[in-house]
Structure 1
Amino acid sequence: MSADFRPWTARAPRPEDIPDWAGLIARIAEQERQNWYEKAEDLEAFFAQQDPSDAVLVLDDDGVPRAHGRVTAWKEHAVVRTEGGVDAAWQRRGVGRRLLRWQQERAARIGAGKGYGAVAVRAQHDERIASPGRLFASEGFEIVRWFNEMHRPLGPGLPETVVGAGYELLPWTPEFDEEARLLHNAAFAAHWGSEPRNQESWAFRVGNPEVRRDWSLVLRERAGGAMVAYHLASHDPEIKRMHGRSEGYTELLGVHPDHRGRGLATALLGEAVRRFAASGMDTAALDVDSGNSTGALALYEGLDYRVVNRAPVWEKLVQLNP
């Protein structure tokens, strides 16, 4: 670890740190009123898939984590995503800036190890929280994309589920997981900010405890039986406590490129919305890339979703020494 965090103690996390690390993340989320935050199971997935030196914890004199940072390198592109945060009691001490510089240094080492000449370091935050944007801008990052958080009330006038005659709507059961992974990779191959999912990362995604199988669906062709579209949904009970709404969330929605324009995404989302409501939810929610080229934003607006918040994606191209 080359970044200087003195006078504080900083080190890579260990598996036994998961409870305290998750506690720090939850505390920051509470302080910032974030819509979602990582739980212990997400940190377990980190240790299963990444080198612990891809993360750092900053500790107080009692060994309590007060700040954290992490990087995740894309496997097929010179892109490194960052995550992190600082306890409110430790803000305005320069900890966040040191974390961001550590992330840039770590990203550079990862990129150099892969033989890249440069690596794009990306960060994202809720637009309502202004301080990260000021920090990113001061470190030379620029906004390259926006993501929209969209909500739909689950009152009267829910959409009907209309599936074309050539397709069959089925619940997403575990035996569909691998076919759905391959379909997801095909559906998102040309999407900005997406890379193929391997079996391990996909297993963690669909196996997350927040995933609701009863709200998750697939569409198959009646002739041949190939899967052509899917909807993965989740429920975070903390949303109710923190924000006062019961939310059914669309994690992923995808259609094979050869089957777009046939109303399949509308059918899946319409059925999901009805299932959210039947389960007692009062809000349907999702996030969408504002630059999505498939017309997703218009699709969601047509189903009465409305933008309630935005999140900028910041990027800095870090040149590596030859």
Structure 2
Amino acid sequence: MDPVFVPLTAADVPAWSDLTTALARVDGTDEFSSAEDLAEELAEDGVRPELDTWALHERDGSTAAVVAYGQVRVKADLLDGRAVAVLGGGVRPDRRGRGIGRALMDRIEVRARELAAERHPGAPVVLRNAGGLETDPVRGLLTHRGYALSRWFVQMERDLPAPSAANAPPQPAAGYRVLPFAPELSAGTLRARNAAFADHWGSTSTSEAEWADLTGARSFTADCSFLAVAPAAGPRPSDPDGPIEAGVVGSFCLAQDWQDGPVYLALIGTAPEARGRGLARACIAASLDAAARQRRPDGRPRFTRAVLHVDADSPTGATRLYEGVGFAAVKTFGTFTREVPALDA
């Protein structure tokens, strides 16, 4: 019998979180998501849960467990003339091997092409799916459906350093100040993000709505996020350093808090015209120092280590930068892609 999938709803969020926790533990990804984080995903700009999500329920006594889920998003911008559809999902380990994943992918792929046709009429589509670690059983399903391993991403970690005795974060090259993330600098940080990642594999521009979702999320940790800022060109204001809202963001290190223990450095980058000046290194050092200072109400450290992911073939040599500030590779993830024609071609 074909599995009966229904859209994910707010009522599913606790059971959905339980499923992602089980998958993270069994598959070794450490990609844990709280119920609050998942509720935000359902409310993200452009997501229609009734069309773009799936859940398979089973009764477990008096409660309904989510034993499989799926999601699809289509990027707002084209990539080399192609629409990019990002597919996600998972099947509870004790329910694998029953055709659930195959049935789920049938639905996700159809919706991905429909959504791509709505947003980018006539454009061919790149279906992108995270392949997890090398041992992840989803890889067999993906390759059977015509997906190919396209890119490796490396998870790197380090213990947090002892907090610096200095009150101010380290400063990079002359002309820049390292400042904590602030709402006044959000638009400038978005511009720097889009410039920094324009030459990265698989990257499209982040829209203002997507940026608002990211910086407004529960997980976003502004007090551990730092920017390298230069005064804007033009007449100098009375303040010799200039007001921060007038500054130009050259580099950034944005942090998130997903689970107890690690601070996640989610976005690190430098605009092309500002590279080679030590800006990213200074932002990372400031973020690590701030994270090391964070304490929980009972006095325990809020964070004990830092985690990030990096493209193994990053054109900026980011892996070397992170090794230089104490990070070491611990896991390697694969990304799989498949190209399909436009639904309306």
CA distance in 1, matches of 2:251, 2:117: 38
**TM norm structure 1:** 0.87
How far residue 140 of structure 1 moved from its aligned partner, in angstroms, is 1.2
How far residue 32 of structure 1 moved from its aligned partner, in angstroms, is 2.9
Report whether the alignment pairs 1:92 with 2:107: no
**Structure 1 residues 54 and 117: alpha-carbon distance in aligned structure 2, compared to 1, 3 A threshold:** same
Report whether the alignment pairs 1:66 with 2:67: yes
The alignment of Structure 1 onto Structure 2 pairs a total of residues equal to: 309
Report whether the alignment pairs 1:190 with 2:187: no
Matched letter for residue 186 of structure 2: D
Matched letter for residue 47 of structure 1: A
Please point out which of 200, 211, 225 is paired with 1:202: 211
8 A contact 1:18–1:44 mirrored in 2: no
User: Structure 1 stretch 298-307 or stretch 23-32: which is displaced more?
Assistant: 23-32
8 A contact 1:228–1:256 mirrored in 2: yes
Matched letter for residue 254 of structure 2: L
Alignment of 1:42-81 (within 5 A): 42-49=38-45, 50-52=47-49, 53-60=51-58, 63-77=64-78, 78-81=83-86
CA distance in 2, matches of 1:19, 1:157: 36
Determine the structure 2 residue equivalent to 1:243: none
Determine the structure 1 residue equivalent to 2:310: 288
CA distance in 2, matches of 1:204, 1:296: 26
Determine the structure 1 residue equivalent to 2:284: 269
Report whether the alignment pairs 1:18 with 2:18: no
Report whether the alignment pairs 1:154 with 2:156: no
CA distance in 1, matches of 2:248, 2:229: 5
Determine the structure 1 residue equivalent to 2:182: 173
CA distance in 1, matches of 2:200, 2:279: 18
Larger helix share, 1 or 2:
1
CA distance in 2, matches of 1:38, 1:286: 16
CA distance in 2, matches of 1:11, 1:236: 27
How far residue 34 of structure 1 moved from its aligned partner, in angstroms, is 2.8
Unpaired runs of at least 5, structure 1? 1-5, 239-245
CA distance in 1, matches of 2:34, 2:137: 23
Unpaired runs of at least 5, structure 2? 234-246, 295-300
CA distance in 2, matches of 1:211, 1:44: 12
**Structure 1 residues 184 and 13: alpha-carbon distance in aligned structure 2, compared to 1, 3 A threshold:** same
Q: What is the CA RMSD across the aligned residues, in angstroms?
A: 2.3
**Structure 1 residues 237 and 107: alpha-carbon distance in aligned structure 2, compared to 1, 3 A threshold:** closer
CA distance in 2, matches of 1:45, 1:178: 22
How far residue 176 of structure 1 moved from its aligned partner, in angstroms, is 2.1
**TM norm structure 2:** 0.82
